[in-house]
Amino acid sequence: MSNEGVTLVSRVALVAVAILATAALRALVGPSRKRSLYMGVGTVGGMAAGVGVSSLLFNWIRIDVSPALFAFVGIFAGWGVAWPFARRIPRDGH
């Protein structure tokens, strides 16, 4: 397998793990729509920030860094920011 093939397969695997991780978090958050909204905003915001940081790093150090990897790290950062707000909402509230 070529170097590009390995890179493609690793990025696809990373995206699959990100999908599974967000689904697992959705199950842990509970049925509350407001909690899910907060965590969803944290997910999307973290992904956007991660891709933005990846772009800035590419322009700064001229090394191809994977936006998928930084998006995955950004998801966890977004969850860390969103969780203090989401945990104040009851789990069973709709």
Q: Specify the pTM.
A: 0.74
List, for residues 29-46, the tens digit of each pLDDT value: 878 888 889 998 999 999
Q: Dump the DSSP string for 10-74.
A: HHHHHHHHHHHHHHHHHHHH-S-HHHHHHHHHHHHHHHHHHHHHHHHHHHHH-----HHHHHHHH
Q: What are the boundaries of each domain within the chain? A: 3-86
pLDDT band, residue 26 (cuts 50/70/90): confident
